[in-house]
Structure 1
Amino acid sequence: MPLFVLLIYLSTPLYDRFANEYINNSLKQAFFTYAIVRSFNGMISTLQESSISFGIGVDANIALGQVLDPINDAIERFSDMITLSLWVLGAEKIIYEISKFNIIFFIFLILFIVYFFKESKLVKSFLMILIILRLFIPFSAISSSYLDDKIFKPSIDKYEKVLIKTKTDNNISNISSLKEKIKFYIKNSENILNAFINLSIVYFSKFLLNLILLPLLFGWIIKNIFTK
């Protein structure tokens, strides 16, 4: 194993600030999106309950169902995706914080010295695990930050603005205000659905990049470093 792997491992504190900022910003973005999703969920629940309380009529109930059912379905699916995103980001942050413990560095250093003087498949495997544990988050942060700035974040901001513009408050005091909100959602249902669908595509693309493509690429790089 080349000595530059050791040098790269020793240089990781230089990337810690960048990696922490990336994880924290990703968490803030996911929490903000989740808050928007939950607010829509609350508004739809209020509309459904109010339509039952006020008894707005068969035609209005049918129109309301045609509008709210697909939106509600999109919200539930997207809510699951955002929840998963928060769990993954939280787990990444915890694992990364653990990887910075001094004991991890000392274990790595001891294993590296052992491997340097006498190669061992078992020691090699442990070294690869420690390298992946310590270096993957900075690697992922550096690799995906460009795409975040150029593609993901602008798209997320764009569709979140659409949802914010099409969100109303939960105050329904009489049948007149209920009918106004029904008309509003009927008019904006296409924009709301498109925003949720496109947000789902963006977040799924981020999942694909961060949970599959980048780990595979990083694993391939580490494996090739060790086999040379």
Structure 2
Amino acid sequence: MMTVTLSVYALARGLNGVISVAQGTEVSIEPMGVGLTLAPGQILDPLNDLIEQFSSVLLAASASLGIQQIILFLSDQAFLRIAIATLALIAAASYFLAKTSQQHTPVFLKTVLFLSILRLLIPVSVMASATVHELLASQREEAVIVLEQTQNEVETLSEQQQKKSKGWFNSLKGQLDIEAKLQQVREQADRAVKAAVYLLAEFVLLMLFIPLLTLWLLFKFTVHVYQIKF
């Protein structure tokens, strides 16, 4: 999941870069002596704004995955298993042998339960995210392909602008060619917007919503177990 997130982030930043180059390029056309200046990259403004926001979400998603990775590592350390086992033994001893005041027994039991749930909740959350991540693999790959095609289209447009702005456009035919290319890029940009929105929804769901839901469940569980009142 981390690899996919970082690869999509790299793709988004690359697309943002080529759009920025296209937006800064203008083509001067003089068909039949009439001056005309085109900035084809301007049609990509909505997509560029969306990609910038998408990149920010991907950074947050990467951070979320990194935090989960750290928690998974810490939850499997020996000291936590030893702490849970020790508290469980103390709770059992206080209950069956009555050598410890009975009023402390519920505290020990609650602590054991809390630490056990804490140790298992994050792995379960990660497994749920990974399962959904695999189920959505084909749709995600299709959306990524659309973004890659868009990047190639914009790069091609920028190259053609740079070449034709040097003197190719002296006829009405040249103007029609660039307008046809602009229409093609506009349609590709519309598909890219839909793909970016889909990817945005998927990463928000898997890397942000599910972890936040897990934290909320942990909070509610803690309040219930320790009977915390606000």
State TM-score, norm by structure 2: 0.69
TM-superposed deviation, 1:46: 1.5
Aligned to 1:46: 21
1:1-228 to structure 2, matched below 5 A, reads: 26-51=1-26, 60-61=38-39, 64-65=41-42, 67-118=43-94, 119-120=104-105, 122-124=107-109, 126-150=111-135, 152-168=136-152, 169=155, 172=159, 174-176=162-164, 184-207=184-207, 209-216=209-216
| Counterpart secondary structure, 2:159 | coil
Q: What runs of 5+ residues in structure 2 fail to find an aligned partner?
A: 30-34, 95-103, 167-177
Aligned to 1:14: none
Q: Rg: which structure is higher? A: 2
Whether the 8 Å contact between 1:136 and 1:215 is mirrored in structure 2 is: no
Whether the 8 Å contact between 1:74 and 1:196 is mirrored in structure 2 is: yes
How many residue pairs match? The answer is: 197
Q: For 2:61 and 2:45, locate their aligned partners in 1 and report how far apart those are by CA, in whole Å.
A: 24
Q: Amino acid of the residue matched to residue 62 of structure 2? A: L
Q: For 1:49 and 1:121, locate their aligned partners in 2 and report how far apart those are by CA, in whole Å.
A: 68
Q: For 1:128 and 1:29, locate their aligned partners in 2 and report how far apart those are by CA, in whole Å.
A: 35
Whether the 8 Å contact between 1:50 and 1:172 is mirrored in structure 2 is: no
Q: What runs of 5+ residues in structure 1 fail to find an aligned partner?
A: 1-25
Aligned to 2:170: none
Whether the 8 Å contact between 2:150 and 2:192 is mirrored in structure 1 is: yes
Q: Amino acid of the residue matched to residue 196 of structure 1? A: A
TM-superposed deviation, 1:124: 4.4
What per-residue deviation string (whole Å, max 9, x for no partner) do you get for residues 79-108 of structure 1?
111110000000110121122221111111
- Higher RCO (CA-CA < 8 Å; seq separation 6+): 1
Whether the 8 Å contact between 2:12 and 2:55 is mirrored in structure 1 is: yes
Q: For 2:130 and 2:226, locate their aligned partners in 1 and report how far apart those are by CA, in whole Å.
A: 27
Q: Which has the higher helix share?
A: 1
What per-residue deviation string (whole Å, max 9, x for no partner) do you get for residues 51-101 of structure 1?
3xx66787522x532x22101111011111111000000011012112222
TM-superposed deviation, 1:204: 2.1
Q: For 1:162 and 1:192, locate their aligned partners in 2 and report how far apart those are by CA, in whole Å.
A: 6
Aligned to 2:173: none
State TM-score, norm by structure 1: 0.70
What per-residue deviation string (whole Å, max 9, x for no partner) do you get for residues 120-145 of structure 1?
45444543443244212321233334
Aligned to 1:13: none
Q: Percent identity?
A: 22
Q: For 2:107 and 2:23, locate their aligned partners in 1 and report how far apart those are by CA, in whole Å.
A: 60
Which stretch shifts more, 156-165 or 202-211? 202-211
Q: Cα RMSD between the aligned structures?
A: 3.4
Q: For 1:123 and 1:45, locate their aligned partners in 2 and report how far apart those are by CA, in whole Å.
A: 60
Q: Amino acid of the residue matched to residue 197 of structure 2? A: I
Q: For 2:36 and 2:110, locate their aligned partners in 1 and report how far apart those are by CA, in whole Å.
A: 67
Aligned to 1:19: none
